Amino acid sequence: MKRLKGNGLKWLSLLLCGSLLVLSGCAASSAVDEAKEKKKESSTSETSDTVKVGILHSLSGTMAISEVSLRDAELMAIEEINESGGLLGKKIEPVIEDGASDWPTFAEKAKKLLQKDKVVTIFGGWTSASRKAMLPVVEQNNGLLWYPVQYEGMESSPNIFYTGATTNQQIVPAVSWLLQNKGKKFFLLGSDYVFPRTANKIIKAQLKAEGGQLVGEEYTPLGHTDYSTIISKIKDVKPDVVFNTLNGDSNVAFFKQLKDAGITAKDLTVMSVSIAEEEIRGIGGDVLAGHLAVWNYFQSTDTPENKVFVEKYKKKYGKDRVTDDPIEAAYFAVHLWAEAVKKAGSFDVDKVKKAADGIEYKAPSGTVKIDGETQHTWKIVRIGEIQPDGQFKELWNSGKAVKPDPYLKSYPWAKDLMN
């Protein structure tokens, strides 16, 4: 036993020495690598005929479900630009990074893209948490980030362009429409995190101002799957509308159990803000049929640009694939950036930002335009009814693009929300 111990100590010290050696070797070689890298970079960025852009989405982890298709849409847009001769005579070269559904990783990879790869812009993110993680990084490095998903508003960074809807392009018009068409009594149901809580704060202020009535407000943990009690509560207070800000898988459980409890879309309208074509596939069109969702784009949106877009996307990625709002916003973000670069005549971030104001692009959802002041986009708002085949039938749209107003400055009832 004693000998063994002595031996063990010896081995341990040997191991320690060995690992120290290896470590110091690594440090030395990485310093060399870095020097090489620097040399290479400074030479490539001057003379090469390509320009690098970053694509940063969760390609693994829980958010991969949604974000992989955004990457696909962005790559498709980049390919289109390259096929039509590139940008300022250069081919675009995407550098793809995986945020792995982990917010610190998003910050780290954004930093890597900006500092090491020297990308001229990044397209990326889905959750608000990932955006908030990348925000300080792009601001400190004076980078550019295009964020393609609807979110809770109350933000505008000089280094971020928002191509998804802000609240006044999705939630606020939906609430007004519901009040006019479906009834006054609202039940708010959401997942327990920042987006639903902020959204519901806005909805409550709006209900107060526009004569609606709040009859219930419930939050469930992310991943919650038993909605029988909440459905009991809904039955009890008999709302006209359930405004649903549940995120992810909980939606499947909620809608299945709602149907089981004998409540159909005829009895009660559920309006959702995060169920799109992609999500309907997993819940089942039959279960959701008749319920509503509000977005800026549906796969069924009837524009010539969209016909081409959907056909191309399916041809490239498979006929089972569907397009939806964030996919479209990710796609036209690349084109908007390209237009801004062309106008600026340069890839320089400050010049591109300056040139971006008022840039228009004929997106699949209609013409979108960058609002220079907030760096959000003007978009058309659409309310659709879910059909058994998983597609939307449009019930209403705003006609023309709605000016983005992330801080809801133009709504008197939203004054107290700022504080």
Partner 1 sequence: MSVFVTQLFNGLSLGSIMLFIAIGLAITFGLMGVINMAHGELIMVGAYATYVVQQFFAQYAPQSMDYYYIIAIPVSFFVSALLGLGLEKSLIRHLYHRPLDSLLATWGVSLILQQMARTIFGAPNVAVLPPEWLDGGVHVAGMVFPYKRLFILAFVAVSIFALYMYLNKTAAGRRIRAVTLNRDMAACLGISTQKVDAYAFAIGSGFAGLAGCALTLLGPIGPTIGTYYIVDAFMVVILGGVGKLIGTVLGAFGIGLIGTLTEYSTSATMAKVITFALIIVFLQWKPSGLVSMKTRSLD
At its nearest, how many Å lie between partner 1 and the CB of residue 219? Answer: 6
Given 24, 232, 267, 373, the residue binding partner 1 (CB under 8 A): 232
Does 230 bind partner 1 (CB under 8 A)? Our answer is: yes
Given 139, 197, 219, 360, the residue binding partner 1 (CB under 8 A): 219
Tell me which amino acid residue 414 is.
A
Contact positions with partner 1 (CB under 8 A) in 286-305: 286-287
Contact positions with partner 1 (CB under 8 A) in 67-106: 68
Does 228 bind partner 1 (CB under 8 A)? Our answer is: yes
Contact positions with partner 1 (CB under 8 A) in 174-213: 192
From 9-17, 57-65, 70-78, 373-381, span contacting partner 1 (CB under 8 A): 57-65
Given 38, 40, 281, 400, the residue binding partner 1 (CB under 8 A): 281
* Torsion from C-alpha of 270, 274, 277, 280, nearest 10 degrees: -60
Nearest to 300 by CA among 379, 362, 377, 385: 385
Nearest to 269 by CA among 402, 362, 194, 178: 178
Does 310 bind partner 1 (CB under 8 A)? Our answer is: no
DSSP 319-360: TT----HHHHHHHHHHHHHHHHHHHHTS--HHHHHHHHTT-E
Q: Are 247 and 62 in contact (CB under 8 A)?
A: no
Q: Are 404 and 357 in contact (CB under 8 A)?
A: no
Does 275 bind partner 1 (CB under 8 A)? Our answer is: no
Given 82, 181, 257, 391, the residue binding partner 1 (CB under 8 A): 257
Does 321 bind partner 1 (CB under 8 A)? Our answer is: no
Strand partners, 349: none
Structure tokens given for 256? 């299945």
Does 224 bind partner 1 (CB under 8 A)? Our answer is: yes
Given 182, 201, 256, 342, the residue binding partner 1 (CB under 8 A): 256
DSSP 151-163: -------TTEEE-
Site size with partner 1, rule: CB under 8 A = 38
Question: Phi and psi dihedrals of 40, rounded to 5?
Answer: -60, -45
Nearer to partner 1, 293 or 338 (CB): 293
Nearer to partner 1, 211 or 262 (CB): 262
Rounded CA separation 400/409 (Å): 20
The footprint of partner 1 (CB under 8 A) covers: 62, 64-65, 68, 192, 218-221, 223-226, 228-230, 232-233, 236, 249-253, 256-257, 259-262, 278-279, 281-284, 286-287
